[in-house]
Amino acid sequence: MSSNGGVIHDIGFRHYDGPRLGRGYLIRSLYVESLRGCYGLGRSAKSKIMPFLLLTVLVAPAVIIAVVAGVTSMKKLPVDYVGYMFALESAIAIFLAAQAPATVSRDLRFRVMPLYLSRPLSRNDYVAAKYGAMSTALFILIAVPQTVLFIGALLAKMSFWPNAKDWAAGLLGALLLSLVLAGIGLLIASITPRRGFGVAAVITVLLLLSLVSGALASLADINGHPDLAGYFALLNPVSLVQGVLHWLVDADVSYPQPPPGTTGGLVFTAAMFVVIAGCYTLLLARYRKVSAS
């Protein structure tokens, strides 16, 4: 029907001969709309409440810290950029649990997947756009408060380079954490067309992993296997990223033990990439044969 991949079904109306925007445009639109949807933009006022409430929960402490640092002219921020993000990890997890099902479950529930896929948009494009949108939404959620802290530090006339370096480390952490969490959240959410159940399932899996790995780690630590305790952090996606950051940028670890040495760092980094790639592959597999089930 057309030469550059556009499709308009001929149902007997007047023909369209204008320019076609093609597949790239479709992916871009789906990405932008999904990202806006994660924050409830373009949706009803009700669906804006939750994401912006959680964004406030994350940003408000940073603003307070920045103002206090400026007023009392501190020499150094009381929290570091990476530590700030892990201190508020439960708010990040709730954001993921609330918005991952909103991103993918609706399309399944209202059975609009066939409509998407009857366009030049392929399954892989759909998954890429959704994964990109979800991780960008998480990245914004984590990076905005870090940037607020950075601006606060500069306004308080703290030295530029150490802060810029830590801020960059924080952004790297935000990127890694959002990629890992978005993958896990979307994978779980894509299994169910029910939003409420998706929310509960995502948070249950994240909490369960963190509790189990915490219990196993302290058990190993008490019984005198600190190395083993370090490796149990692999089970929890959040402490996995924490371990990687500990190795890469020497971030503090809230766990009983950080991953041991270079080997530990390499293992954690490899595990993190396996998690990201694995979630992406499983998502592709999930959408290979998609039904609302």
Partner 1 sequence: MNATVAGLTWHSLVGRRRALLLFVLPVVLIALAVLVRLVSGESSGSATDLLGSFSLGFLIPLLCLIAGTGAIGPEIDDGSIVYLLAKPLNRYVIAISKWIVAIGVIVLFGVLPTLVAGFILAGNQDGVATGFATGALLAGVAYITVFLLLAVITRNAVVIGLLYALVWEAAIGGYVPGAQTLSIQQWALAVTEKMLGDSAPALGVDSAVGLTTGLVLLFVVSLGGLVYTGFRLRSIRINGEE
Q: Which residues are at the interface with partner 1 (CB under 8 A)?
A: 43-44, 46-47, 49-50, 90-91, 94, 97-98, 106, 109-110, 191-192, 194-197, 199-201, 203-204, 207-208, 211-212, 215-216, 219, 222-223
Tell me phi and psi for residue 97, to 5 degrees.
-65, -35
Q: Supply 82's token pair.
A: 């990476």
Amino acid at 30: L
CB of 242 to partner 1, least distance (A): 18
CA nearest neighbour of 223 among 215, 211, 233? 215
How many CB atoms neighbour CB 236 within 10 A? 24
Calpha distance 198→88 (Å, rounded) = 22
Q: Which is nearer to partner 1, 110 or 160 (CB)?
A: 110
CB of 206 to partner 1, least distance (A): 10
DSSP 292: -
Q: Which is nearer to partner 1, 201 or 276 (CB)?
A: 201
Q: Which is nearer to partner 1, 171 or 187 (CB)?
A: 187
CB of 116 to partner 1, least distance (A): 18
CB of 228 to partner 1, least distance (A): 12
Q: Which is nearer to partner 1, 146 or 213 (CB)?
A: 213
What are the residues whose beta carbons fall under 8 Å from the beta carbon of 188, sequence distance 6 or more?
A: 100, 198, 201, 202, 205
Calpha distance 266→34 (Å, rounded) = 34
3-state helix, strand, coil in the chain (%, to 5): 75, 0, 25
CB of 94 to partner 1, least distance (A): 6
Calpha distance 266→255 (Å, rounded) = 18
Q: Which is nearer to partner 1, 223 or 263 (CB)?
A: 223
CB of 92 to partner 1, least distance (A): 12
Q: Which is nearer to partner 1, 42 or 162 (CB)?
A: 42
Amino acid at 234: L
